[in-house]
């Protein structure tokens, strides 16, 4: 343990507190975390849940649309946040990215005290829904929409 008297900072070294794992346990754990078989099992877990999570994302999109109709920005943020957290895990990458952009817009506008534009919300909500239902979510079209919406948000906030 070292003490920097000037700034009253104490540094506690890695050998001065209990490790999460050590010795053979640590070696075995690291080997497992770096094994391709482990990654394969993990991917299978995600694949097995794909349908359930996709249905859940569609439910969040419905709730998002309802919140947008009421212009309930907190509810819009909450639903978009759930979508950005889950959508890309099951391959709905464009939906996740657009939802992330919507969250960033609401968050930044709220912190800066900027009036939130319902048109920006509606454009994002429509795009999230379209991207989630498109067969080509992973193509450049979805990414293009996400990029253009991001540019719109940057423009609005800059103004």
Partner 1 sequence: MANSFENLRALVVEDNPHMRSLLKSLLHAFGIKQVYEAEDGDTAYSVLCDRKPDFVLTDLSMAKADGIDFTKRVRTDLESPNAYVPIIMVTGHTERPRVEAARDAGVTEFIAKPITAQNLMLRLAEIVERPRPFVKCDDYFGPDRRRRRTENFTGPWRRAEDRDSEVEVR
Which C-beta is closer to partner 1: that of 28 or that of 69? 28
Cα 134 to Cα 130: distance, rounded to the nearest angstrom: 6
Cα 143 to Cα 97: distance, rounded to the nearest angstrom: 8
Which C-beta is closer to partner 1: that of 39 or that of 69? 39
Binding mask 16-55 for partner 1 (x = CB under 8 A): -xxxxxx--xx-xxx-xxx---xx-xxxxxx--x--xx--
Cα 128 to Cα 97: distance, rounded to the nearest angstrom: 9
Distances (CA, A) of 125 to 48, 58, 95: 28, 12, 9
Q: What is the residue whose two structure tokens read 């507190």? A: 17
Residue 152 in tokens: 């719109």
- The residue within the footprint of partner 1, chosen from 51, 65, 70, 96 (CB under 8 A), is 96
Q: Does 58 bind partner 1 (CB under 8 A)?
A: no
- The residue within the footprint of partner 1, chosen from 87, 94, 102, 145 (CB under 8 A), is 87
Q: Does 74 bind partner 1 (CB under 8 A)?
A: no
Residue 129 in tokens: 């829904």
CB of 133 to partner 1, least distance (A): 19
Q: Does 8 bind partner 1 (CB under 8 A)?
A: yes
């Amino acid at each position: 343990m070292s003490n920097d008297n000037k700034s009253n900072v104490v540094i506690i070294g890695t050998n001065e507190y209990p490790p999460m794992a050590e010795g053979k346990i640590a070696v075995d754990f690291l080997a497992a975390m770096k094994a391709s078989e482990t990654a394969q099992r993990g991917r299978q877990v995600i694949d097995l849940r794909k349908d359930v999570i996709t249905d859940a994302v569609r439910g969040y999109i419905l709730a998002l649309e309802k919140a947008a109709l009421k212009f309930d920005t907190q509810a819009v943020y909450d639903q978009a946040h759930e979508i950005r957290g889950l959508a890309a895990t099951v391959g709905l990458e464009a939906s996740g990215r657009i939802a992330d952009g919507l969250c960033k817009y609401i968050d930044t506008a709220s912190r800066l005290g900027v009036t939130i534009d319902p048109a920006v919300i509606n454009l994002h909500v429509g795009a999230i829904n379209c991207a989630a239902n498109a067969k080509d979510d992973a193509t450049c079209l979805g990414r293009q929409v996400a990029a253009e919406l991001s540019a719109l948000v940057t423009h609005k906030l800059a103004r």
